[in-house]
Amino acid sequence: MQDLNKLWKIFNEEYTDTGLVKGAFSAPGRVNLIGEHTDYNEGFVLPMAIGKKIIMLGQLRNDRMVRVFDLGYNTEIDFSLDKLIPLRKDTWGNYLMGVVDEIQKAGFSLRGANLIFTSNIPQRAGLSSSAALEVVTALTMAKLNSLEIEPVEMAHLCRRAENNFVGVACGIMDQYVSCLGQKNYALFIDCRSNDYELVPFKDHNYQIVICNSKIQRGLVNSKYNKRKEECKMATEFFKHKLNREIRALRDITIDEYKKYQAQLPKVTARRARHVISENYRVQAGVKALREENFSAFGQLMIESHQSLKDDYEVSCAELDILVDLALKQEGVLGARMTGAGFGGCTVNLIEKNYIDCFKKSIKNEYKKNTGINPDIYVTPPANGAKVLELR
């Protein structure tokens, strides 16, 4: 990541100084440690912010125009705060436009701005570069305009931007952890109440390591929607079987599932088993981290991957290869696919002393098996969005 002085130099070459307030801001990507496909079932997730982030520099303008320069793609867009229409080209701009749209809908007054940003979050890898862009835009526009928007409110605002303007029906997890993440803590989120807790991840003997399969997530909407539909069918089934209020699979206990699973269609039963057991794994994982029982947490990660692979069927050959290779390495306590699936990354829990050997071995073996050079990122839990400087 370029240092701020270099970025300000680029900014000043790109834009004429307006004499108004300027500043630099950042927001991180995230990796989900455990709790996959539980969010839209009103369940539990346990992500953490990662050391990869987006940095945005901005300065207010004297008019209602916003100009944005993306350093990664070397492209620029501009739009009026009074005429926000989704772009068909340079669609990354819709994340920014959606955010300023939601800020204005919330009753805040904005001025135009000149913005540049740079990112080292891998795109289409399931590490939430889009949520980071939303959050850093919200923080930049809020601080430049002297607006007081609390982190939780900002996360919800960014989620609405993605739901309403971009048109992606995401949950709250990505925006929450980008806003609320803290160094040395994972973030336990209840996706029904939106309550959250910081969970310590402080043991200096263990590290989170992310392996990028380089298979871009083919999160085909039809597959994702099919899973949601299957979960809804299972929920309706249990509503009729159990004499109590049931809103989502989150409300079904493992014993209740076991009692009636044979009456469900086989595929629907597998989908339900994943979600119900995964919610228990997240809660057990939080307990394990609080007790600094990293071997127990690693075992839960392994069980999560098996469930995602066999019951939910959202893994792919390359992710399975990465997990299998990881579990053969010395010092690895746990490994699983992370994110929605069908490509993207795995997340691994490793004893620090073995990380160098792990990286070398995984790169060699994965290349041998797939012909692909994987990217590997070592990252402790990082801080959420923050102001780097105001001028």
Residues with catalytic function: 174
Cα 201 to Cα 294: distance, rounded to the nearest angstrom: 10
Structure tokens at 150: 């609390």
**What's the angle, vertex CA 310, arms to CA 315 and CA 302, rounded to 5?**
75
Q: Which of 259, 283, 281, 257 is nearest to 271 (CA)?
A: 257
Rounded CA gap, 148 and 278, in Å?
A: 37
- Asked if residue 111 lies in contact with residue 80, where contact means CB atoms within 8 angstroms, the answer is no
Dihedral Cα 145, 165, 105, 385, nearest 10 deg:
-40
